[in-house]
Amino acid sequence: MDAKLQVPTLDSPLPVLEPIKGVKKAPLEEYFTSGHRTCQGCESALVMKLMVKAAGPRTVVLGSTGCMYVANTTYYSTSWVVPWMHTQLGSSGSAAVGTAAGYRALMRKGKIKREPINVISFCGDGGGADMGLSAISGALQHMDYNHLILLYDNESYANTDIQASGSTPYGANTTFSPHGKAKRILHKRWKKNMAAMLAAGHPECRYVGTVCASYAVDFMNRIRKALSIGGPTFIHSLDPCPKGWDYDPMLSHELGELAVLAGIWPLFEVEQHQLRLYGKTRAIVEGRQKRLPVRDYLMKQGRFAHFTNDDIDYFQAKIDEMWTRWLIPGVLPFSTDVLNERPPA
Amino acid sequence: MDPDSATAVRVAAAEQEALISGSEAVAVATRLADVDVLTAYPIRPYDTLMQYVAKQIANGEQDAEYIVAESEHSQFEIAKHAEAVGARAMCGSSGVGWCYAFEAIAVTPALRLPLVAMVGNRALDDPGAFGTEHNDALAARDLGWMHVWVDTAQEALDTTLMAYRVAEDRRVFLPCAISTDGAFLTHSQTLVKIPPQTWVDEFLPPYNRGDLRLHPDNPITIAPQVNEDWLMEIRRQTDEAMRNARGVIEEAYRDFRRIFGRGEGNPFFEEYRTEDAEVVLVGMGTLSMPVKVVIRKLREQGEKVGFVRVRWFRPFDHERLGALLSRFRAIGVIDRDFSMGSPFNSGVLANEIRATLYAQDRRPPVVSFIAGLGGREVTIPAVKEMIEQTRRAAAAGKAPADTQWIGVRA
């Protein structure tokens, strides 16, 4: 391997976490259990459960403000079997660095036992893609510290009443972007491309990936890879949210699949500079799976109920552009073509 | 040999002197205290501390995680989380940088994390100003941070060691901010006694987070949602810890005197020529220099004037300070800060002193002054003017109702 791809000082011990070969081989132990108050059909709760199931008991979890803080940790009860600590809304990156740095110093100086400790810091899309972006970026530069930052993206500030974030999809109805008589669409920002942005912008970071908990084994194996590869890592998970997206809670799993199959949520990973599409995304790109129309995904959700055919066409054109015009389809834009699509008036 | 002489011999034999600034003195203290994690982000004048730390790290003189963060907020959050796993940490800031970190600063006391931070006191600009003003640190005065104002580079070094000792005491477990006046102290070099490591080790036990350490062997949940069900009890516990700090500070200073052979007097405030004084000035930080010069001169002329320098602002030693100040005929309080629209339009310290005196049977008039903002020099004539005004209040038995701005253009 190219020497410059090595972590400069891989002196903190790393865990050995073998890939899970199929759902029946997944560990039975749960480290995120009862005691939480998440909504029926909450996909983010499943993300928490799979995340620590994959990581195992020698794990410390830091949680920034958001649903997975407020709903999971009511004083005098906790759904966390592993140690857990709250961090501020924009601090998932800093919490990971501080925790990992503390352990590193204490282990080097012989003040605590030297052993691998998984540090996972999670944030929602508000905490991660908006407020905490700078701290996450900083964290991904400090190669001495082993940790994983997991962004669970339910595409709004879901805990505070469903307000638009930088990760809310174009046109979605939120309490900060209601559709009204004069303006059908108030939220005109296109969703941030967090994983690719961070992978492209942090050349030494050894692992960045996107996941969807609808594909649970793939999800857990990416957590394991991120925790055992060394240095700071980042995973972005798309989490269907019945409350924020306005759909029947029984459809959470299906909506995650549809987001992938419609090409809206590409599954990819950048592992030591190697980009790899995986799962159904790879099947679509290799022609083994037909990319579904975005209509199938959008029209199952109340947040897009106000969309006209023009809006759906515009959304479709933007997704088509990802796959036909982007320099790296589904991952990085920088098209060399002139873009003609404009939002409908 | 009697114990005092034994200490003196030990001091002479073991301490080295170095010509260093206040910031460097704190950097040396972090090395002596074996701090595990230090975080840096530039803003003048505090950043000089981390420049010295960076050199110590680069030269292999200090073994610590030294992290250059991407903002003050991250700097304080990183240090906070390092403290949660049982690592001793240090960070700091100045002026609006301290404000940028305010969210992290606000939550640290309730988490009972004994983080020690240096504030290089600086004006909150805009309008642009690098100089000393105490409003940055004072903005956090009500949040459960201990606050101590130091005056010399020696005091900066000694107080950093004491801050860890007090903050990390299980009866306290609160963060501590050490205020060092920007430029006057952060950048001015004086001879500082650097104690040997053995003394520091005797004085400062390792940081033991005990059953509060975040670690897989101790799977606790820290800082869940408590809401109205429990928040008040937790605030009360934090308040209890701050009350405990008063006694713990006394113990720490007593031990410091025993081991290091210096640090006489009341830890909370320094008295200068107060023994038979009729009027005194009260202030914090480096303005003590011009004040002491004037008082020395006036004493030579037989004037009964003195000075009280408040060192620990939180916890505030209201009992002893109140008892002391009630002796005098009038008190002039110099604030290097402002509190627009406060009672009598005073600075912060003056109203703390007024509140302190209220519990006393004898309440001398308090003249409140605002001086030296933005690093403006508190000059000898300015100090003389303040003493003169305080003397007039003593003679009249009554202070002017409003606050006097000293050394300001009309």
DSSP 8-state assignment for residue B313:
E
CA within 13 Å, CB half, A298: 23
- CATH assignment of the domain containing B241: 3.40.50.970
pLDDT, one tens digit per residue, over A76-116 is 889 999 999 999 999 999 999 999 999 999 999 999 999 99
- For residue B366, the domain's CATH number is 3.40.50.920
How many Å apart are CA A315 and CA A117, to the nearest integer?
A: 43
Contacts of B227 in chain A (CB under 8 A): 75
**Coil, strand or helix at B359:** coil
B176 shares its domain with B280 = no
Kindly state whether residues B130 and B253 are assigned to the same domain. yes
Where are the domains positioned within chain A?
A: 28-324
Only one residue has tokens 């030494």, namely: A204
Per-residue pLDDT reduced to its tens digit, B66-124: 999 999 999 999 999 999 999 999 999 999 999 999 999 999 999 999 999 999 999 99
End-to-end CA distance of chain A: 52
pLDDT for A8: 47
Task: Give the range among A261-265, B6-10, B38-42, B257-261 with minimum mean pLDDT.
Answer: B6-10
Specify the DSSP element, H or E, that contains B18: strand B16-21
Which pLDDT score, from 0 to 100, does residue A336 have?
A: 62
DSSP B403: P
pLDDT over 80 (residue B204): yes
HSE value, Cβ hemisphere, 13 Å, CA-based, for B305: 26
- Whether residue B147 is contained in a domain is answered as yes
Q: Mutate which of B68, B85, B112 to disrupt the A interface (most A C-beta within 10 Å)? A: B85
**Whole-model pTM?**
0.95
pLDDT of residue B55 exceeding 80, the answer is yes
Q: Is the pLDDT of residue B273 over 90?
A: yes
Domains identified in chain B, total number: 2
| B215:A95 CB<8 A | no
pLDDT of residue A217: 98
Find the domain containing B32 and state its range: 3-260
Distance from CA of B188 to the nearest CA of A (A): 32
The per-residue pLDDT for range B161-200, each reduced to its tens digit, is 999 999 999 999 999 999 999 999 999 999 999 999 999 9
Residue of A nearest to B105 (CA): A88
Tell me what pLDDT residue A90 has.
98
Is B69 near chain A, with CB under 8 Å? yes
On whether both B192 and B288 belong to a single domain, the answer is: no
Chain A contacts of B219, Cβ < 8 Å? 80-83
- B286 and B320 housed in the same domain: yes
Q: Are A209 and A196 in contact (CB under 8 A)?
A: no
Q: What is the mean pLDDT of chain B?
A: 96
Residues B31 and B139 in one domain: yes
State how far the alpha carbon of B295 is from the alpha carbons of A107, A341, B61, B292, B365, in Å: 53, 78, 42, 5, 20
Query: How close, in Å, is residue A76 to chain B by CA atoms?
Result: 8
Flag residues of chain A having pLDDT under 50.
Answer: 1-8
Domain boundary among B190, B225, B260: B260
ipTM over 0.90: yes
| Structure confidence at residue B225 (pLDDT) | 93
B217 Cβ partners below 8 Å, 6+ apart? Answer: none
Residue closest to B223 by CA, chosen among B206, B207, B238: B238
Residue B359 belongs to some domain of the structure: yes
Cβ neighbours around B301 below 10 Å, total:
7
pLDDT of residue A76: 87
A105 token code pair: 């110093």
Residue closest to A259 by CA, chosen among A235, A280, A243:
A280
A102 and B84 within 8 Å at the Cβ level: the answer is yes
CATH homologous superfamily of domain A28-324?
A: Thiamin diphosphate (ThDP)-binding fold, Pyr/PP domains (3.40.50.970)
